[in-house]
Structure 1
Amino acid sequence: MLNLNFLGKARVEYNGKSVVESFRNKTIALICLLVINNDKYLSREKILDYLWPDSSEEAAKNNLRFNLWLIKKNIGTSETDQEFLFIDKDHCGINMNYEFQCDILDIMNFKPQQDRPIESLLRLKNMFVGEFLEGCYYNNCDDFNEIIIFERTRFENFRVQILKGLEELYEKDGKTEECLNILKEILDIEQYDEEVAAKILTLYMKIGNRGSGIVFYNSFRDRLASRLGIQPSEKLRKKYEEIKQSEETNSQHGDVKCIKLQTICIKDVQYFWMADVVGKLFALKQLKCDTRLNERMLKVLGYIQPDVIPNPKSEGEAEVPAVQIVNAFIHLILSICKDYKLTIFISGGEEMDSVSDGVSKYLKSSKVDGLSIIAN
């Protein structure tokens, strides 16, 4: 039995034994080229243009003949005595009467409109162990390299369609947690899909995990702002307000009120994470942050976050020392943690500026009651 895998690192196994080691650099490329054109035979001239465009005609023909020989030598006949390749004087192709398994062929045969069981879709999903011909690039083969790029995009689209098919089946079966995980996987690929984001928010409400829904929305909103410079649509904002109001109502009935923040980092901007935290805390009016700090501390934090107090620095005044900013920030956090359980999620923690990094490490090591700082 022959097994061909072109997603991730290319693998070719015949009767359970890897034969890739016996191939040359372009042998895998030749097999792959024939497989993705399995519905037709390619002319030898076309293959030469793809894989040996910079060689002389005679050298290119010799290269093709040698690679075809390598394939025939290492991939034997099937149980029905069929040859793997069809070869004549002018054309080459895959013999589709030859029994073999190939990941990309199975995926190419996927039709979204067809009814398939969950097990079938899971098998296809698990084939995506990497991108098409991962790590492969062929010098001076521009047309073939363009095919690789095109196919990578095409198989990513197949992956999304398969995941959406799974999500629909899980939804019908009432498997909410599985449905939520699949939607997150889709969003990892299509990172700005607001319809998927809205479905995720709806599911968080359905399972009663509104706090995670709020954290998810803030992360998604920050992604749109930082990478595309846009805000979520009105429809998504309304969904967020709905889940936020519901969470606030639930929190008021508990013994401990919970505050969850999703924050982001920019490495080369000092105090950026701290400023992001301060801005989001002051935006929560129920915290009454301005009453937790004296005038001097408010002015100090206004230096890094104008939402606290606009234009805090008078003309001719020296820069605010870092130690004052840090102390005011820590004082605010400690004050809030006396009344609330505060969870701060951090996106892109590896990009945190040095001052904020030191402050976050200090707070973590201090083990402040009611404070959790979590990288996500």
Structure 2
Amino acid sequence: MLSITFMGQTQFLLDGVDVSGQISSKSAAILALILMNSSRQMRRSDLIGFLWGESEDDAAKYNLRFNLWQIKKTLVQADGEPFLLVSKDVVGINPHFSFRCDIVEIEQADPETMDSIGELKHLLSLFRGDFLENCSLHNCDGFLEHIILRRYYLENRKLVVYHRLIHLTYENKLYDDCLQLLSACEEIDPYNEDIVQIRLEILLQRNARREAAQYYQMFCSRLLRDVGVEPSVKLQELSKHLHLQESKEPRGRVLHLEVCTVPSLPGGWMSQVLRALYGCGQVNWADYLTAQQLSDLAYFRPELGECLCAPVPLVRIAEAFMDLICALCAGDSIQKLEIQSVNGAPLDDLSRDVAAVLQMKCGSSLVLL
């Protein structure tokens, strides 16, 4: 049995023995091109065009012959059957050779019609990384373009698998599994409102009303910031349901912060707001920010923790700050957040733009004095 992995680190296992070191990069590329083809075969001239298009004709033919010989010598069954069948014009996979290949399995599957969560999880496990992740062939522009297109295709296939798994785990009330899948999917599909709605519905069913409101507010901020649009009517209706539920319980209090503004310091007002929030000792930062966001804000305010990488782009600090303020204003503990500039100086340009977006998103829950 031959096992071929093209997603992530390229690997060839023949009867459990790793023979990857005996397969050159060009040989691996030949096998990838053939296995990507639905007929599992390709003309020699096409292989030369992809991999030796810049070479002289005789040199290209020789290089192809050498790599085909290398493959046939290495990938052979105990009974002598070679993995490749080579003729004068065509190179193809031997139909009598037992093998598994991740990209073949991915392309043959129909995840949209699959009902087995176990089978879908196995399919998802095949996406170990990018297709031919470490491929760096020189003077093979046509091949590399082909690989990039195939990566886009496989990324879309991965999303289809994620979405099917999310819907099946949700329908079967496997909410912990579903939430993990949602988090992973959101990293590659951050603006999909269908999966946002599923997360909100799970949180509502678990009576995690505060977390649902915070998540919705952060999604709205991200959507407006990155795409420049508001959520769909359907999602906004669900948010109204959130607000209706919140109105049945007592709201929190007013949190008043006093800061000094320094107009010449980019982001100075944001830094002072963070300092005041930290000083009040009433904010559980982990409830509102990811570890990465908290690390980004720590570049402005070291008391928030360790900044894992420096310098941090101002855009990341601004985004984390907006997510924090939006989440605070949408939560249960604070009914209104008041931020007063005690020295009356104007905000710096960056902070002024951030404050304008926050006032639009938070409405009456945020008051700047």
TM-score (norm 1): 0.71
- The answer (yes or no) to whether the contact 1:38–1:93 under 8 Å persists in 2 is no
Distance 1:125 1:351 in 2: 31
Distance 1:175 1:240 in 2: 23
Taking the TM superposition and a 5 Å limit, the aligned residue runs for 1:221-370 are 221-247=220-246, 249-250=248-249, 252=250, 287-289=253-255, 292=256, 297=258, 300=259, 303=261, 326=272, 330=275, 337=282, 343-346=287-290, 348-352=293-297, 354=299, 356-361=300-305
Partner of 1:83: 82
Matched, 1:24 2:24: yes
Q: What amino acid is the match of 1:352? A: L
Q: Is the 8 A contact 1:163 1:186 kept in 2?
A: yes
Change (3 A) 1:112 1:57: same
1:30–1:248 CA distance, 2 compared to 1 (3 A): farther
1:145 aligns with 2:144: yes
1:6 maps to 2:6? yes
The code of the aligned residue for 1:345 comes to: L
Structure 1 residue matching 2:91: 3-state secondary structure? strand
Counterpart code for 1:358: P
Alignment check: 8 A CA contact 2:117 2:165 kept:
yes
**Deviation at 1:124?**
0.9
C-alpha distance in structure 2 between counterparts of 1:117 and 1:203, whole Å: 21
* Bigger RCO of structures 1 and 2 (CA < 8 A, at least 6 apart): 2
Aligned equivalent of 2:360: none
Q: Which residue of 1 aligns with 2:118?
A: 119
**Identical amino acids, percent of aligned pairs:** 27
Shift in Å at residue 230 of structure 1?
Answer: 3.3
| Counterpart residue number, 2:159 | 160
TM-aligned CA distance change 1:78 to 1:189, over 3 Å: farther
- Gaps in structure 1 of 5+ consecutive residues: 258-285, 305-312, 363-372
- Count the aligned residue pairs: 303
Larger Rg: 1
Q: Cα distance, 1:333 vs. partner?
A: 5.7
Q: Which moved more, 1:205-214 or 1:60-69?
A: 205-214
CA shift for structure 1 position 218? 2.9
Q: Answer yes or no: is the 8 Å Cα contact 1:78–1:84 preserved in 2.
A: no
1:221 Cα offset (Å): 2.5
Q: Where does structure 2 lack aligned partners over 5 or more consecutive residues?
A: 307-323, 325-369
User: Per-residue deviation at 1:341?
Assistant: 7.0
Is 1:128 matched up with 2:94? Answer: no
Give distance in 2, aligned partners of 1:359 and 1:124.
44
Matched AA of 1:218: Q
Q: Could you tell me which residue of structure 2 aligns to residue 43 of structure 1?
A: 43
Deviation at 1:17, TM superposition (A): 1.2
CA distance in 2 between counterparts of 1:183 and 1:211 reads 18
User: 2:240 and 2:115 mapped to 1: Cα distance?
Assistant: 37
Matched residue, 2:193: 194
1:183–1:361 CA distance, 2 compared to 1 (3 A): closer
Give 1:175 deviation, angstroms: 1.3
